Amino acid sequence: MNDMSTQANESLGDYVARARAWLDAMEPRFGHEARKGLTVDQDLALAREYQRLKSEAGYACITLPRALGGGGGSEIQKILFGQEEFKHDFPTTYFTVSQGMPIPMLLRYADKETSQRLAPPAIRGETIWCQLFSEPSAGSDLAAVRTRATRDGDGWRIDGQKLWTTWAQYADYAIAVVRTDPTVPKHAGLTFFWLDMKSPGITVKPVRKLAGESEINEVFFDNVYVPDSQRMGDVGAGFRVAIETLMIERYSVADDACGGPTLNEFAKLAANSRINGRAAIDDGQVRRALAEAIVERQGLRSIHRRALSAIAEGKEPGPEGSIRKLRLARRRQAMGELAMDLMGAEGMLLEPEGTSTLDHVWSWMDVPGARIAGGTDEILRNTIAEKVLGLPQDYRPDKKVPFNQIG
């Protein structure tokens, strides 16, 4: 029996055991200790090697076909592998945007030749994609984007600015939503494209965050030419494609702690911390906070698995992802605050080589970004209210007004 047949017939328990063994074997070369002291460029080089090996082993983009470099597996395998991989501090962050949103949208909307040419290198970590959505005047209100594209023969000329673009400084390609018709209401005048980030006229400038990380950028477009063949979806249908992308983004948020230390790590901290001379884990309020987090996590996992099963059947992502993204980020912040309280004075120290995945203080510093990326708390609440609970929409006086007439 060949390897693919073996994988197709193995139980989930055997799959997890195999994944754990592979991840444990990768730890010495790619884990937290191996990454200490590396520059971002060195860490990215290490990440590319890990991603290549991950693709060869069938663990990169698990639900995509093996012919593209994916794993050819199921949604449940993807979830299970992600839970195991999360326990290690591997350099995966450079590819989360690429493989979480642009590649699925490329496979859905680009022609077959384009997707087969561009997807495999991204899955193997050879290329990086970014997502050009937010702007200085259009963050929560995505339909308010002002970056414009005007017709130029068989293509378009793009001018404007994007902001908060993750890993744009390393990106080879991007997906973008831009305004192609300012004479119609704002939701109707947008179009979606994929871009070559090395195109003449594109300038990337870094934005430094409070926590000192440098993955976010602003991107400027000065008469950038894009062929019409790089359009994804119909002209004027960009908002729908963008929302579909955001729905996928909300489902791709890391499980357990939304990128922060796991609840198991919090429990270990509580067991080793003291309150009035006793282990903090024995304190009723601490135990209650941990129990509530675990119960909420299990409920959100149920929502997540049901939604992923629907996506696997060809259905579009639904609004339930907003519930999960909203609660995971808020819970991560609350647990980070409690962890820092348990740490006492040490909670005021920022470990220079710490990461938001393993360090409670770094996680607390980083979590505001998680509450903004992919939709702010306020936008998520609106989505839940309107799309899940069926409540009436907020009053929007500019909804039917041509964009160029909005003050």
In a domain, residue 119? The reply is no
Regarding whether 148 and 74 lie in a shared domain, the answer is no
Regarding whether 262 and 230 lie in a shared domain, the answer is no
The pLDDT of residue 6 is 47
Regarding whether 303 and 192 lie in a shared domain, the answer is no
Q: Which amino acid is at 73?
A: G
Regarding whether 135 and 9 lie in a shared domain, the answer is no
Query: Which among 91, 115, 140 is the end of a domain?
Result: 91
Q: Tens place of pLDDT for every residue, the chain, 407 residues?
A: 334 444 556 898 999 999 999 999 999 999 989 999 899 999 999 999 999 999 999 999 998 999 999 999 987 798 789 889 988 889 999 999 999 899 999 999 999 999 999 999 999 999 999 999 999 988 778 899 999 999 999 999 999 999 999 999 999 999 999 999 999 999 999 999 999 999 999 999 999 877 666 789 999 999 999 999 999 999 999 999 998 887 776 555 545 545 688 898 999 999 999 999 999 999 999 999 999 999 998 888 888 777 767 666 666 667 777 888 889 889 999 999 999 999 999 998 888 878 888 899 988 988 887 788 777 888 889 989 998 899 998 888 888 899 999 86
Task: Find the domain containing 26 and state its range.
Answer: 3-91
The pLDDT of residue 352 is 82
Residue 107, both tokens: 């496979």
The pLDDT of residue 251 is 59
Q: Which CATH number covers residue 274?
A: 1.20.140.10
Regarding whether 340 and 294 lie in a shared domain, the answer is yes
Regarding whether 259 and 228 lie in a shared domain, the answer is no
Regarding whether 258 and 226 lie in a shared domain, the answer is no
The pLDDT of residue 311 is 63
In a domain, residue 399? The reply is no
Query: Which among 188, 205, 236 is the end of a domain?
Result: 236
In a domain, residue 242? The reply is no
Whole-model pTM: value is 0.86
> What is the rounded CA–CA span in Å between residue 338 and residue 347?
10
Query: Which among 209, 236, 263 is the end of a domain?
Result: 236
In a domain, residue 177? The reply is yes
Regarding whether 225 and 279 lie in a shared domain, the answer is no
In a domain, residue 230? The reply is yes
Q: Which CATH number covers residue 218?
A: 2.40.110.10
In a domain, residue 405? The reply is no
Domain count, the chain: 3
